[in-house]
Structure 1
Amino acid sequence: MAIWCLGAAAGAAFIHTNNVLAQSLPLSQTAQFVRAEARHVGDALFTAPDYKPGIVRHMVMFRFKPHVTQAERDDVTKRFVALAQLSRRPDGRAVVTSVEAGPQISGENADLGLEQGYLVTFRSQGDRNFYVGQPVVTDNRYFDPAHDAFKKFAGPYLERVVVFDFPTDVHFQP
């Protein structure tokens, strides 16, 4: 079983529990705050669709293990993008607004070896919290089984996972 520690909400690390891969990072201050918030308000409120409404972007970047074939990489991306349709609450409501995906193409040499990126958009922090699930939300009644299954599927192919979440409450106009 693979456990993902995702985004600012959990320290941006990936841990594969059978010790094949362990890139455990100490919890950031933000991760500590978000986890404390989840414990304080409870999973039901923390993952409710109307919890902290507003657009949330969930950036995910992968570095694949060297032995992973292009076909396997393509399958990981196909399954990740499918989460836009598969991620649903128990009442059938969609959790994800959109998923965008693409390979790293920058020439700036600041990619840290990351190869594939995804941008997932949510309508609220509650939707993002429901989608992310473990390890922040541990009660399976309050997290997305499709995303949880994807994490278990993708884990063996990945060498590094970086996640960064942010609200889009600040806009700059030229």
Structure 2
Amino acid sequence: MSLPAFLKTLLRASAPTALALGLAAPALSAPAHKTTPATTPALDAAARAVRAELKSVGAARFTAPDYKLGVVRHMVMFTFRPGTTAAQRAEVTRRFVALTTLSRRADGKTVVTSIETGAQNSGENSDLGLEQGYLVTFQSEGDRNFYVGRPIVTEAGHFDPAHDAFKTFAGPYLAKVVVFDFTPTAPAAL
């Protein structure tokens, strides 16, 4: 399965950004793959709502650290391309987890509270071929919005260059990417 069109757009970040952050590709070669012309996927209701919110409040407010305070979980799951080696998979995960300290605002403040990762090990036969999962935690929607960045937030200075560089690095190794964000709610009283 090819990368979703939105990820293809994300993978167009500049090489100088990656080099400046020390995220240039290691001596591991990326698997060869063909790209096909991307079509813009239809936006789901959540994506439409987020983009409307950005348009309403502006990029500076939308990505501010105090914008909609409260824990936000960002679940990311990957399926690697066939031929991706164990070393390449490990490097993708190492660089993803490094975003805990590399993802910073211009003032040096970190954006990510924590990143947890693990290989799929459920026996329920409902993994859809996904192989590696990551759970990223933020303290506000503004921090999450800054971290996610492109293709949602494209205004310079209002998205995380470290995460953007990671997407450029990881893209050639990935066959499928699933992202699901949520704000945890307290369980209802029994």
- The TM-score bracket by the shorter chain reads 0.7 to 0.9
Query: 1:132 aligns to what?
Result: 148
Could you state the TM-score of these two structures normalised by the residue count of structure 1?
0.88
Q: What is the CA–CA distance in structure 2 between the aligned matches of 1:155 and 1:24, rounded to whole Å?
A: 18
Q: What is the CA–CA distance in structure 2 between the aligned matches of 1:34 and 1:24, rounded to whole Å?
A: 17
3-state DSSP of counterpart to 1:143: coil
How far 1:173 moved relative to its partner?
7.1
| Higher CA-based Rg | 2
Structure 2 counterparts to residues 1-174 of structure 1, below 5 A:
14-15=7-8, 20=35, 25-171=41-187
Report the AA paired with residue 175 of structure 2.
Answer: E
Q: What is the CA–CA distance in structure 2 between the aligned matches of 1:25 and 1:63, rounded to whole Å?
A: 20
How far 1:20 moved relative to its partner?
1.4
How far 1:172 moved relative to its partner?
5.5
Report the AA paired with residue 61 of structure 2.
Answer: L
For the 8 Å contact 1:48–1:127, the answer to whether it is kept is yes
For the 8 Å contact 2:4–2:176, the answer to whether it is kept is no
3-state DSSP of counterpart to 2:8: strand
Query: 2:18 aligns to what?
Result: none
Change (3 A) 1:173 1:62: farther
What is the aligned-residue identity percentage?
60
How far 1:142 moved relative to its partner?
0.3
Q: What is the CA–CA distance in structure 1 between the aligned matches of 2:100 and 2:188, rounded to whole Å?
A: 28
Q: Which structure 2 segments of 5+ residues have no match?
A: 13-33
Query: 1:10 aligns to what?
Result: none
1:41-68 Cα deviation digits (max 9, x unpaired):
0000000000000000000000000010
Query: 2:28 aligns to what?
Result: none
Change (3 A) 1:172 1:105: farther
Q: Which structure 1 segments of 5+ residues have no match?
A: 6-12
Could you state the TM-score of these two structures normalised by the residue count of structure 2?
0.80
Change (3 A) 1:51 1:20: same
1:30-50 Cα deviation digits (max 9, x unpaired):
100100110110000000000
How far 1:171 moved relative to its partner?
3.4
How far 1:26 moved relative to its partner?
1.8
How far 1:23 moved relative to its partner?
8.3
The two structures, once aligned, show a CA RMSD in angstroms of: 2.2
Report the AA paired with residue 70 of structure 2.
Answer: G
How far 1:74 moved relative to its partner?
0.2
Q: Which runs of 4+ in 1 moved over 2 A?
A: 13-19, 21-25, 169-174
